[in-house]
Amino acid sequence: MKPMNIAEKILARASGRSYVEPGEIVDAVVDRVMFHDLTGPMTLKVFEEMGGGLVWDPDRVVVVFDHIVPACSITAAENHVKLRRFVENQGIKHFYDVGRGGICHQVMVEKGHVLPGELVIGADSHTCMYGALGAFATGVGATDMAATLLTGRIWLRVPETIIVKYTGRMPEYLSGKDLILYTISVIGADGANYKAVVYSGDVVSHLSMDDRLTMSNMAVEMGAKTGIFEPDDVTLTYLKGRASSGFALMRSDEGASYSEEYEFDVSGMEPQVACPYRVDNVKPVSEVEGIHVDQAFIGSCTNGRLSDLRIAARILKGRRVDKGTRLIVIPASQDVYREALREGLIDVLLEAGAMICNPTCGPCIGVHLGVLAPGEVCIASINRNFIGRMGSRESKVYLASPATVAASSIEGKITDPRRYLGGAV
């Protein structure tokens, strides 16, 4: 049998085939689906238009309220009511209402709803984040989601696969966010369109699950269908106590082929910043240092995890957010929030003058909890800096790691985090 890479192997298994190759269209059985309070209402509308009825398997459906929680408008509240009714009528048990879960993608991995080797479909573009656990996960729109809810199946084109190898010595101040921003700058915002990305190389085995999640999360920012880390000890440790069933550890075959190969030496790499209004408009922090920021935001499915709050707290301990700048911090989930409280991180951040909001997408979607006015500039640990992403179309968003965001909040301008973490500046 010809060798396959991990993406191909998962799609072959899901479509009951022994072998698949790029370009083929397969009819695949999905292991899990997820939708949230923003894509849910349209999904349900289409589900009814398709003739409605029962979902194919309520135990494989996860529903999370995260984008607009708690409701900030009557429309949002009405949408929540509609979705709660659906969850109830369909007997969906994996439901995370306001105050029960957090940001959908974080909840999916944290609560063990994703296992290595699985095919997961979510009505959200950052579903690709679950690739960090060795799953094939990808985002779809409402109509695809409605059809998958009815049938438990989806057609997918088997993607070509790009392999990205990280080599060298990873500096202590660098994070997964810097690696992925750099990667996107080289591959480009559409460089991986329709393709899968596999993250590989010596550096990868030392990356924490939090770093991997950040990198898989942003695979879609290169147009990729999914971004996968092959499961290893870090994966198994993460899944301990989370996985509710057994799973097969699927890895790429020896000699598997890839459409493109990149190799990046991370030794001495500078912290990276993506400038408006393109995610691939990335510069080393030294080139953008000094730009004034009105708002700094640490949170989102990209970088709202415990290690993100830890590094922010480490930088902000005993310091103050600049008076011309506001810092908003949003833990990605209730669990992250509680753990951060227990570790005293929240207290450190409050002491520094940060505003802590409840787990939610918040300003990342430009609807509530930190919307930008015309002319305002924000540095954020999120994944997109498109025109109007966080509010006014005349505002600007710079993307960076939580360390860079925290350092910038202290100085009120974009700042190299090495000034606070050590490392050559």
Contact positions vs other proteins (CB under 8 A): 25, 38-39, 41-42, 45-46, 49-51, 68, 73, 75-76, 79, 123-125, 139-144, 146-147, 150, 155, 189-190, 193-194, 223, 225, 278, 365-367, 384, 386-389, 393
- Work out which of 7, 10, 63, 103 binds ligand SF4, going by CB under 6 A: 103
Report the C-alpha gap between 107 and 86 in whole angstroms.
Answer: 20
Residue among 62, 141, 143, 144 at smallest CA distance from 106: 62
CA geometry: angle 67, 95, 234, nearest 5 deg: 80
> Hey, what are 302's tokens?
């990209």
250 binds ligand SF4 (CB under 6 A): no
Q: What are the backbone angles phi and psi of residue 322, rounded to the nearest 5°?
A: -55, 145
Task: Please report how close the Cβ of residue 399 comes to ligand SF4 at its closest, in angstroms.
Answer: 11
Q: HSE-up of 391 (CA within 13 Å, CB side)? A: 19
- Rank residues 180 and 410 by Cβ distance to other proteins and give the closer one: 180
Residue among 387, 423, 382, 414 at smallest CA distance from 399: 382
144 binds ligand SF4 (CB under 6 A): no
- From the list other proteins, ligand SF4, none, pick the one residue 39 interacts with, judged by a Cβ distance below 5 to 8 Å according to partner type: other proteins
Query: By the 8 A CB rule, do 226 and 7 touch?
Result: yes
Task: Please report how close the Cβ of residue 34 comes to other proteins at its closest, in angstroms.
Answer: 11
The β-bridge relationship of strands 25-29 and 32-36 is unpaired
Site for ligand SF4, residues 281 to 340, rule: CB under 6 A: 300-301
- Rank residues 167 and 358 by Cβ distance to ligand SF4 and give the closer one: 358
Report the C-alpha gap between 43 and 33 in whole angstroms.
Answer: 12
- From the list ligand SF4, other proteins, none, pick the one residue 366 interacts with, judged by a Cβ distance below 5 to 8 Å according to partner type: other proteins
> Hey, what are 54's tokens?
């029962």
- From the list ligand SF4, other proteins, none, pick the one residue 81 interacts with, judged by a Cβ distance below 5 to 8 Å according to partner type: none
Task: Please report how close the Cβ of residue 124 comes to ligand SF4 at its closest, in angstroms.
Answer: 6
Indicate the Cα dihedral angle 414, 415, 417, 423, nearest 10°. 140
Radius of gyration of the chain (CA): 21
Indicate the Cα dihedral angle 105, 109, 114, 117, nearest 10°. 100
Tokens 């833990």 correspond to what residue? 331
- Work out which of 15, 325, 383, 415 binds ligand SF4, going by CB under 6 A: 383
Mark out the alpha helices in 290-417 (DSSP H runs). Answer: 300-303, 306-316, 334-342, 345-351, 402-411
Segment interacting with ligand SF4 (CB under 6 A) among 51-59, 72-80, 100-108, 182-190:
100-108
Q: What is the DSSP string of 167-216?
A: ES---TT--HHHHHHHHHHHH-TTTTTT-EEEEESGGGGGS-HHHHHHHH
The β-bridge relationship of strands 377-380 and 295-298 is parallel
In DSSP terms, 391 is beta-bridged to 372
| Residues 47-86, mask of contacts with ligand SF4 (x by CB under 6 A) | --------------------x-------------------
- From the list other proteins, ligand SF4, none, pick the one residue 300 interacts with, judged by a Cβ distance below 5 to 8 Å according to partner type: ligand SF4
- Rank residues 15 and 127 by Cβ distance to ligand SF4 and give the closer one: 127
- From the list ligand SF4, other proteins, none, pick the one residue 393 interacts with, judged by a Cβ distance below 5 to 8 Å according to partner type: other proteins
Segment interacting with ligand SF4 (CB under 6 A) among 17-25, 42-50, 150-158, 359-367:
359-367
- Rank residues 187 and 397 by Cβ distance to ligand SF4 and give the closer one: 397
- From the list other proteins, ligand SF4, none, pick the one residue 140 interacts with, judged by a Cβ distance below 5 to 8 Å according to partner type: other proteins
124 binds ligand SF4 (CB under 6 A): yes
- Rank residues 67 and 368 by Cβ distance to ligand SF4 and give the closer one: 67
Q: What amino acid occupies position 390?
A: M
Segment interacting with ligand SF4 (CB under 6 A) among 20-28, 102-110, 136-144, 406-414:
102-110
Helix (H, G, I), strand (E, B) or coil at 283: strand
Interacting residues with ligand SF4 (CB under 6 A): 67, 103-105, 124, 126, 300-301, 361, 364-365, 382-383
